[in-house]
């Protein structure tokens, strides 16, 4: 990856180590989300871990490095779209089964990755929402500068 902001962030040691650790953290978050119905974890925990991988990158390389790759507007939109999709899933359940947020997909075979109906799908929505939202909260709180006087 080409770094256009070499003077921001922490030292070379931290940046080098970050290159090895940040994708491990991201993959662990994805694993927690996708196996949320099989092992401990779920959308909330996985989303926070994914947000932490972005925070890790921001702390090591500076905020401009991350913002050059990920648009802030896209993050905002992803977060809102995930919330809307969550509610839309509920409305689909209302039409198909008769209850709001009812499980309208087949339960499938127990102990397999694709099972439990809509639970993995909702986990992914919650993950996107929590991950993007918490990273944006971190970004806004960390880059906020109170006015003097």
Cα–Cα distances (Å) from 137 to 18, 20, 112, in that order, read 22, 25, 35
57 lines the binding site for other proteins (CB under 8 A): no
Tokens describing residue 126: 């919650």
56 exposure class (CB count in 10 Å sphere: 0-12, 13-18, 19+): middle
Please answer whether residues 47 and 128 qualify as being in contact, where contact means their C-beta atoms are separated by less than 8 angstroms: yes
Least distance from other proteins to the Cβ atom of residue 18, Å: 14
- Residue number, 2 or 95, with CB nearest to other proteins: 95
Told to check if 142 binds other proteins by CB under 8 A, we report yes
Q: Does residue 31 belong to the site contacting other proteins (CB under 8 A)? A: no
11-30: contacts with other proteins (CB under 8 A) = none
Q: Which of 22, 26, 42, 124 binds other proteins (CB under 8 A)?
A: 42
129 CB neighbour count, 10 Å cutoff:
22
Query: Rounded to whole angstroms, how far apart are CA atoms 68 and 52?
Result: 18
- Considering only residues 102-141, where is the footprint of other proteins by CB under 8 A? 103, 107-111, 115-117, 119, 122-123, 126, 129-130, 133-134, 136-138, 140-141
Q: How far is the CB of 68 from other proteins (least distance, A)?
A: 18
**Nearest 5°: CA angle at 145, between 142 and 147?**
160
* Dihedral sign for Cα atoms in the order 51, 75, 124, 87: positive
List residues near other proteins by CB under 8 A.
32, 36-42, 44-45, 48-49, 51-52, 55, 59, 76, 79, 83, 86-87, 90, 101, 103, 107-111, 115-117, 119, 122-123, 126, 129-130, 133-134, 136-138, 140-142, 144, 146
């Amino acid at each position: 990856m080409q770094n256009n902001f070499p003077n921001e962030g922490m030292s070379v040691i931290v940046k080098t180590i970050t290159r090895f650790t940040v994708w491990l953290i991201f993959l662990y978050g994805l694993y927690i989300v996708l196996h949320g119905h099989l092992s401990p974890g779920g959308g909330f925990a996985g989303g926070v871990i994914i947000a932490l991988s972005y925070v890790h990158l921001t702390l090591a390389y500076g905020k401009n490095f991350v913002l050059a790759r990920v648009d802030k507007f896209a993050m905002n939109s992803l977060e809102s779209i995930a919330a809307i999709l969550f509610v839309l899933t509920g409305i689909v359940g209302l039409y198909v089964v008769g209850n709001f947020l009812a499980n309208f997909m087949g339960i499938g075979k127990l102990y397999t990755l694709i099972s439990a109906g809509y639970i993995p799908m909702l986990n992914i929505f919650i993950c996107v929402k929590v991950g993007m939202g918490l990273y944006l909260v971190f970004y806004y709180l960390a880059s906020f500068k109170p006015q003097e006087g």
